[in-house]
Structure 1
Amino acid sequence: MADSVGESLDRALEGAFTRRIPQSAQAQMKYLVRQLKGTRAVAQVLGVSQRTVERYVAGKLKRPRQDLRDRLEREVRKRWQPQVRARARKKAASTDGLVVLTRARFGFTAAPGTTDDARIRDVTQALPPDVADRLFTAREQGAAEQQLQRIAAEGLAQMYFRANDTRAPGLGVEFTDVEEIDIQL
């Protein structure tokens, strides 16, 4: 299965965490109950009954099924250390930018007679803060994976293929068949 740009952005922000997320199912449930202000809201988010949530909080249930464990951890990660996450996002979007490591199919469109057939390339490239800001903003607004890939492709085209727009003006880059992608702050 191919990586997604959105998941990679989330992992990059999680790398800024200063503390580990709660480890036990009970601690994770208690955290979500505090964050969502009640067991009913947690039950709706996780797709379980309110009574199940109450049993985990009380410690009567300890080991969730694999699918519930995955959903529980995903929901806790999504809400863990929001201030640390916001600070890392702000820094990337204002001064540092991002580093994208990817293995994907890149193809080009340019003036007639100068096209290059798409092929798999390994690319590691720093992207400027404005591209980081566009990626994070699109992710927060619920952009589809295709839109996130398009923004990443525009950034890679600008910085990697057009050398920060100092060569190959008008070169269009197609970014498809993402096999791997890792975004770092």
Structure 2
Amino acid sequence: MGTIGEGLDRAVAQAATRPIPKSAGARMRFLVRQHGGSTRAVAGLLGITQRTVERYVRDQLRTPRPDLAERLAAEVRRRWQPRVQARARKQAATSTGIVIETRARFGFTAAPGTTDDPRMRLITQHLPPEYARRLFDAQQAGAAEQQLQQIAAEGLGEVYFRDGGRRADGLHVTLTDVDYVEFGL
């Protein structure tokens, strides 16, 4: 199940201009440098022992378990090229907006006599910069997944369901049961 926060992180990470280091040792050395040389902090971050981190740094260990390899790649990707990621966030929040593709259950609160039963929909839609800014600001502030879903629902409600105010006036959209979500900058 994809979450909004993880989807935003993946979209921003795709803006990188260079690939992340390939070997486990190089990735581990990068994380150790990011944490001021502290192998203990990296061990706590990845859920492994400090000695294991040291062995990867010295290339005594080369092939991590699949779950560790996944966590290691995700942490490196999250910290890779921070200025490029910040520039991509700023551009999406000020000028280009963001594209959301999601399969989720959408429900409505609307005028009496309308069908407001939630149902699964697959939607791909460009959201204007103001919603991208709100999503990134909320994510940076540590907002819960529910709050991020609410912002995405408001954006999709405005752009997709109400068509910028041309139809379905007063329709309130709720987003639940997110099956998957992907973002593009």
Q: Structure 2 length normalisation: TM-score?
A: 0.94
Give runs of ≥4 in structure 1 deviating > 4 Å: none
Q: 1:1-185 counterparts in 2 under 5 A? A: 2-38=1-37, 39-185=39-185
Deviation at 1:148, TM superposition (A): 0.9
Unaligned 5+ segments in structure 2 are none
Whether contact under 8 Å (1:29, 1:72) holds in the other structure is: yes
Following the alignment from structure 2 to structure 1, what is the Cα–Cα distance between the partners of residues 42 and 105? 40
The alignment partner of 1:124 has SS state of strand
Following the alignment from structure 1 to structure 2, what is the Cα–Cα distance between the partners of residues 70 and 123? 28
Q: Deviations over 1:10-56 (max 9, x none)?
A: 11111111011011110001101111112222122122222221111
Following the alignment from structure 2 to structure 1, what is the Cα–Cα distance between the partners of residues 29 and 107? 49
The two structures, once aligned, show a CA RMSD in angstroms of 1.3
How many residues are aligned here?
184
1:86 maps to a residue whose letter is A
Q: Deviations over 1:133-182 (max 9, x none)?
A: 11111112222211111110000001111111232221111211222221
Deviation at 1:115, TM superposition (A): 4.0
Following the alignment from structure 1 to structure 2, what is the Cα–Cα distance between the partners of residues 123 and 89? 22
Unaligned 5+ segments in structure 1 are none
Identical aligned residues as a percent: 61
Following the alignment from structure 1 to structure 2, what is the Cα–Cα distance between the partners of residues 119 and 47? 39
